[in-house]
Structure 1
């Protein structure tokens, strides 16, 4: 009701009265909850029912749903403040200002997180829209089952254009990742040696694709790989389609190498060099030392870099537009084409699938990071 009153206020005085009335009702409800209920569980249930009824009165089933969530949060906040539960888990010597900053900092971080994640959260329900719209329909806002459908997902899995681009991404991204991991890992190990001359300059050049604007990198790659493509086609007689894949894979590998170098270099910071010297003293050759001693310890960093390289290749569109051709059209390229030439809601379904894949990969990265810290003794097991 407060939201409805604020949005329909015609002047400042009406707006102010609505705010003061909402604050008064909130204080009265908080006092009533504390007076009637001894635990927060019962208060949360009653508050959820009241807020849901208010949401249903001024809106729809959607308003009732969000009203119930607001009621639960409101009742929990009231009991949390009244019984000073915010002090639980904090050192007793903290002043009120320090406690306020403790929670204020977390509130700021949460607000930034919500600001960044909200555009993604909007896309997810829109991908289930039963209509060919990029907006929420009245049926969706009412939580009417008729307003939701999987037809955009069916279109993605049955449309030849989408499936061809998806297969291209599944071909290009893994191969580019393998090349990035191989070159990036070797480069990171080499640059971690103190006797290598010009380490900083070499590192700066290797991670430059991450720093240089992508449009500039794409333009340079266009001219460079065009010459390579002409050589492969004219002198060696390779098929044009095959050469196109080679160019795109190499270009994506260049973009992925910096991520591998950075993650592996960070892992090597805590690596004990005496282990490789001990292996050499025991008669192990450099290859055996690398695969049996060094690689198992830096493996979390290598895999993390590989996942970042895979995400970079799988989501990249600018470079493939310059370097590739229609035969190498990837999933992001198809999405870009769909937005520019024919606005298709299937893009929302594809975006949701990419978000789920990215979340899964980033979860793996975080688990590997924690495992790496445990292996290096930086965190308890």
Structure 2
């Protein structure tokens, strides 16, 4: 006998939950479904119905020096910010996983502050700080600024992976004579890797999408794709913006596929190792 048959109203509750989930997914995806097809229009306006399919706006992005520079800058800054944020966020999660650390709750809250502090406040503060440090209008300054925003996402994901890990595994490895370095490399790091990879994807996506802080700390040579889209919206609304948004979506989707593929490969290797033993 099923659970739904045992519990009164179980089937209705499951149907309601499914409907609510479908509505939430639709709410998140409908704006994308509305804008992304306009990247393939041959019209010069963002209007429906689409007069005809065309790749002209992707060609316009490739031929425009401003757009190509923005795409390259986004890849450079996004990659740098992801590496920095992943290292710092992972180390922070490892350091704060034990209650032995004094004021661990306060320190965790400090790491999560960039998620709740308005981006304008962070942008103004970084602009003043960078002016004194000589990092204004530099790639290093923009990478650091984006990394500050990305660290909380890495910390949350890695902390989730570490929380689901049984500490007995590390103690067992240590009791068998493994050094702390070997325990970390062969036990802790592989088990935390899904959270690390997921945090890295969120970090890269956050960097690609960031525009407010970039307006404060970046110079003309560090214009990112999101900032170029913002500037284009102010000057001229064209389907090139939809094409740029499509590129951002494709990059994020490819990263998610890479993470899922890496997790699948790791799971298969772990399964083969268990079967071989």
Structures share fold, TM-score greater than 0.5: yes
RMSD (Å) for aligned C-alpha atoms: 2.7
Decide whether aligned partners of structure 1 residues 99 and 280 sit closer, same or farther in structure 2, where only a CA change above 3 A counts.
Answer: closer
C-alpha contact 2:3 2:10 (8 A) present in aligned 1? no
1:132 aligns with 2:29: no
Which residue of 2 is the match for residue 108 of structure 1? 20
Distance apart, 1:373 and its partner CA = 9.9
Which residue of 1 is the match for residue 274 of structure 2? none
Aligned pair partner of 2:131 in 212, 219, 226: 226
How many residues are treated as equivalent by the alignment? 269
Aligned pair partner of 1:266 in 132, 148, 160: 160
Structure 1, unaligned stretches of length 5 or more? Answer: 1-88, 141-145, 231-239, 377-381
Which residue of 2 is the match for residue 211 of structure 1? 116
Distance apart, 1:211 and its partner CA = 1.4
Q: Distance in 1 between matches of 2:146 and 2:95?
A: 22
Aligned pair partner of 2:208 in 308, 314, 331: 314
Relative to the length of structure 1, the TM-score reads 0.64
Decide whether aligned partners of structure 1 residues 109 and 259 sit closer, same or farther in structure 2, where only a CA change above 3 A counts.
Answer: same
Distance apart, 1:299 and its partner CA = 0.8
Relative to the length of structure 2, the TM-score reads 0.87
C-alpha contact 1:177 1:310 (8 A) present in aligned 2? yes
1:352 aligns with 2:246: yes
Q: Distance in 1 between matches of 2:10 and 2:147?
A: 48
Structure 2, unaligned stretches of length 5 or more? Answer: 271-277
C-alpha contact 2:86 2:200 (8 A) present in aligned 1? yes
C-alpha contact 1:301 1:368 (8 A) present in aligned 2? no
Show the 5 A alignment for 1:304-343: 304-343=198-237
Q: Distance in 2 between matches of 1:363 and 1:271?
A: 24
1:254 aligns with 2:136: no
Distance apart, 1:267 and its partner CA = 0.7
Q: Deviations over 1:305-360 (max 9, x none)?
A: 11111111111111111011011000001000110123232011111221233334
Higher relative contact order (CA 8 A, sep 6+): 2
Q: Secondary structure at the match of 1:127?
A: helix
Structure 1 window deviating more from structure 2 (261-270 vs 363-372): it is 363-372
Q: Distance in 2 between matches of 1:370 and 1:258?
A: 25
Decide whether aligned partners of structure 1 residues 345 and 314 sit closer, same or farther in structure 2, where only a CA change above 3 A counts.
Answer: same
Which residue of 2 is the match for residue 171 of structure 1? 76
Distance apart, 1:363 and its partner CA = 5.0
